[in-house]
Structure 1
Amino acid sequence: MELTSDDALNFSRGVERFSVLEFSPHFPGYPAFIGLSRLAAIWVEPVIATVWISLLSALLIPLLIARLVYLLSGSMPAALLGSALAYMQPLLASIAISGLSDSAAMMLFMLALIAALQKKDVMTGLWIGLMLATRPSYFPLALGMLMFPLWGGYVGSRLRAYGQAGMVITVVGLLSLGFIWFHDGIAYFEEGIRFTRGHFAIWGNTVEGDSASIWQWTLALMKGFGWLGVLVVIGSLLHAVAGFITKPVKVDCQKQVALIAAIAGLYWLWITVGQNPDNLRHWAPVLFLFLVVFPVQLSRLQKVSTVSGRNVSLAGVVGIGAVTYCLLTGYQSVYDVPSKAPIQQAMGWIKLNPQVRVVGSNYSVNLLREQLGSYAIYDMYYPSSKLALVNAAKRTPQSAWRISGTRLPRQQLIAELRPRFIGERRLYLYQISQ
């Protein structure tokens, strides 16, 4: 297991020494994820403890999807279908080995959904609180959970449900804040202001090209999942929500499925506005909530529809089609892929070529500095770095190289470093000429 990004490096550093001011990890600190990683560090090397947590969490997500589908439909075939479709997603593999908090937060949100369906308010609050302390950008998912007691069919006092869940969330939040305050004090809030401004103004929402974010997201999703896959997701979520709005039902599970679809839509709207479309891992909650909704819809379809009046279930045909589509797209995603992440491929290439002495990059700069200690590494965000590379190439030809996440015009492309799964960024290696 290897680290594959600066964010993963920040999390790894936080396992041994927590300080948001020192970017170990970066703001807002992710205290629950660091806590889980420190538990894992009891059994594995601290440097890869975060990768183990993301891997184990990802392996649990399909099982939790199966549990949710079964609670909503009572159908074991539907539950198995949801779990199978989840395990076949290349995006699941991508977040599993990322060393980031996505899969752990998604696992906790699934547990919160299960607790909410079972009317366990205290546990719902606990899982939501831990989810927010693991990945605060999942706040829209927590916001959507506010609708559960109001959606109908809720047994007991709604006010008490909000009170119990809210109390537990508050306790988890205060403990998390206390942990951060102990390490960084009031300077944490100053760093938060600086980081938030940078995220929305400079690095966090930068896309390839000048097109609008919504179009970039459309292109990224079409490339990763195909137009048919994206249309099925949109159609399934819209059908679940619109079907309830236009024809209200009294069946609790149908209301709950509609709510889960609405939460997925709310989160989709949030990432379109506030997250980078170059990182498809941000779309993971939408994908996995869809894999809860879709099998439940098929379980209902099985009860009412057959193909051309024959004894062939339409739901079965659609289910087999979905599995086939996932197998084909998944196979295309992993066929003949490299064994290492693009940034690790780049570092391997650099180490094998002794003429390389100076490297500029706009991606994983700190990871490069960490693992290529004898090289001069320049951050291409700064204009002076370009001049430094050109001067190095003048002094010693073939000594200066550039790693980029985008195609660069008028540069000598030496290698294209392919991703292993969707969600990883393709990188390009260039030689700087005089």
Structure 2
Amino acid sequence: MHFVRRAAIVLIIAAAIIRFLYTSPFASTWDEVDFALALDEYDIANMQPHFPGYPFFILGGMAIHHWIGNPTQALAILNAALAVTAIFPMYKLARRYVTVTQSFIVVALLQTSSYFSILVTQSMSEGAALSIVWWYMWVLIIAFEQRGFRFQVLPLVLFALLMGIRLSYAPFGIGIMFLLFCRHNRNAMRVVSLILLAALLQLVWVSALVWNVGGIDGLLKLAFGFVEGHFTEWGGAVTETKEPIVSRLYRLVVTNIVYVGVLSKSLVSGVILALLVAFLVVPKKRHLHREMKWETRLLVAITAVYFLWNLLAQNIDKPRHSYPIVMLFLFLFAVSSVKVRPVSQWLLLVFSIAQLVTGLAFVKEQASQEPATYQLARYLEERKQPLIVYTWEETRVMDYLRVSYEHERFYTYDYYLQDKKYRQNDTIYVTNHLIDGFRKQGARVEGNLKKVAEFRSNPLFDPVYSEIILYEWRSN
């Protein structure tokens, strides 16, 4: 057992070191550019970053930016550091179920997750938020057991911190609702006081947004504009897409959760996971009727709420939105495995090794190979001027890179045709993402397109803009 424990600890340390060594230096997406620009000038109205502002995430990034010149890497290092702190609550939660050695194996499984390593080495707020979730879940469970008022306050503080890092994790607040109305349902004054305190704690980060935009009216305009866009235009919610719910459910479960989130598209990891599932499906008889622990029911309930949120209200084209489901599933799966069949801890160890090796390859690739958006920008810099490129969202990265050529972002085909009339002497380029948007508007553009280049990067890092096709526009 000492060997297994030491091996698990080595894996945990190795995962942490790897993430610090290979933070991504690229701001390859619209959101990453927003975050990077915010470290030098925090201005929500100018999308530095976009609403809801992520003030605690940006504040942490600013602190590290004093020592790390690249703002993207500064945010990634913040994520990596918070991921290290999450080891403690992961371990404490696991100890509620299993032995010391088995708890280290559970932590190793969570920390070596390949997709977790990818997210933590990017400059997105998911890495920080995922780590804070573990602290929040741990103090929430403690609050159910301890009567002291300070223990009831801790989950409120952690939830406010979480909201100031990533507001889309709001469904985790259902845990506080369970705490208030299950633990304190006989003490109305206690419930009211905790609700008021929770609201005041949330105002800490909200007030930073109000101050930044110059008043509550300005913040409300930004908020309503963001919410409207999320559910009607670019957000990918179920209200925005015509995709059947069954197809959406399949993509969420099979692609986002299992294939990407758990396995990171690794066949080796898939085989090992199948063996682990076999150990669970055929348990010993004495384990079949064991009652589910109350904290397990709590974790399952919170996961179910977030699952519905992810299915109906988020963009499932981006598997990173689904990772909270993945990490809670991995935790419950791991503790169940070692409780039902202790020998499965060896398979969990092997799975962790496979994930560590896979994750190392991915983070090295992410840190060293230019994303497709950067490749596009560099290619156009080498083209003959004058030129203009019309894009969908790629223009945000071009702004960040301060390219020398003209670029415009258009969402409407008619506006594009109108603007193009003033570019008679320019070589006109368009991207496939822009063309896809025009086709959805009923435009027929095939006769005007000549493919000139194609750029690819790993879709695990950015599933939306990992493939960019550049066309030259030929007028009829």
Which range, TM-score by smaller chain?
0.7 to 0.9
Name 1:427's counterpart in structure 2. Answer: 467
Aligned partners of 2:205 and 2:389: how far apart in 1?
38
Matched, 1:226 2:259: yes
Indicate how the Cα distance of structure 1 residues 188 and 288 shifts in structure 2: closer, same or farther if over 3 A, else same: same
Q: Contact (CA 8 Å) 2:113, 2:262: kept in 1 or not? A: no
Q: Give the AA of the match of 1:35.
A: L
Specify the SS of the correspondent of 2:468: strand
Q: CA RMSD in A?
A: 4.0
Report the TM-score when normalising by structure 1: 0.79
Matched, 1:256 2:321: no
- Larger mean Cα displacement after TM superposition, 379-388 or 423-432: 379-388
Q: Give the AA of the match of 1:381.
A: Y
Indicate how the Cα distance of structure 1 residues 369 and 384 shifts in structure 2: closer, same or farther if over 3 A, else same: farther
Q: Mark the runs of 5 or more structure 2 residues left unpaired by the alignment.
A: 1-24, 144-150, 264-269, 282-287, 440-444
Give 1:131 shift. 0.5
Name 1:344's counterpart in structure 2. Answer: 374
Q: Mark the runs of 5 or more structure 1 residues left unpaired by the alignment.
A: 240-245, 304-312
Q: Give the paired residue count.
A: 409
- Larger mean Cα displacement after TM superposition, 21-30 or 193-202: 21-30
Specify the SS of the correspondent of 1:4: coil
Give 1:369 shift. 2.1
Specify the SS of the correspondent of 1:12: helix
Identical aligned residues as a percent: 16
Give 1:381 shift. 1.2
Name 1:75's counterpart in structure 2. Answer: 99
Give 1:276 shift. 0.5
Give 1:217 shift. 5.4
Aligned partners of 2:434 and 2:336: how far apart in 1?
40
Give 1:18 shift. 2.9
Give 1:149 shift. 6.5
Q: How does 1:93-132 map to 2 (within 5 A)?
A: 93-119=117-143, 120-132=151-163
Matched, 1:57 2:90: no
Q: Contact (CA 8 Å) 1:91, 1:422: kept in 2 or not? A: no
Matched, 1:29 2:63: no
Matched, 1:215 2:212: no
Q: Contact (CA 8 Å) 2:184, 2:191: kept in 1 or not? A: no
Name 1:279's counterpart in structure 2. Answer: 318
Indicate how the Cα distance of structure 1 residues 361 and 94 shifts in structure 2: closer, same or farther if over 3 A, else same: farther
1:306-345, CA deviations, whole angstroms, 9 ceiling, x for partnerless residues? Answer: xxxxxxx3x3365357447746976896797772333223
Indicate how the Cα distance of structure 1 residues 335 and 262 shifts in structure 2: closer, same or farther if over 3 A, else same: same
Give 1:9 shift. 2.0
Name 1:173's counterpart in structure 2. Answer: 202
Aligned partners of 1:318 and 1:406: how far apart in 2?
47
Name 2:393's counterpart in structure 1. Answer: 363
Aligned partners of 2:84 and 2:261: how far apart in 1?
26
Give 1:293 shift. 1.2
1:261-313, CA deviations, whole angstroms, 9 ceiling, x for partnerless residues? Answer: 2211210110110111111110111111122212221232136xxxxxxxxx3
Matched, 1:418 2:457: yes
Q: How does 1:15-26 map to 2 (within 5 A)?
A: 15-26=39-50
Report the TM-score when normalising by structure 2: 0.72
Aligned partners of 2:84 and 2:371: how far apart in 1?
20
Aligned partners of 1:332 and 1:12: how far apart in 2?
25
Q: Contact (CA 8 Å) 1:379, 1:385: kept in 2 or not? A: no
Specify the SS of the correspondent of 1:414: strand
Q: How does 1:7-18 map to 2 (within 5 A)?
A: 7-18=31-42
Aligned partners of 1:155 and 1:360: how far apart in 2?
57
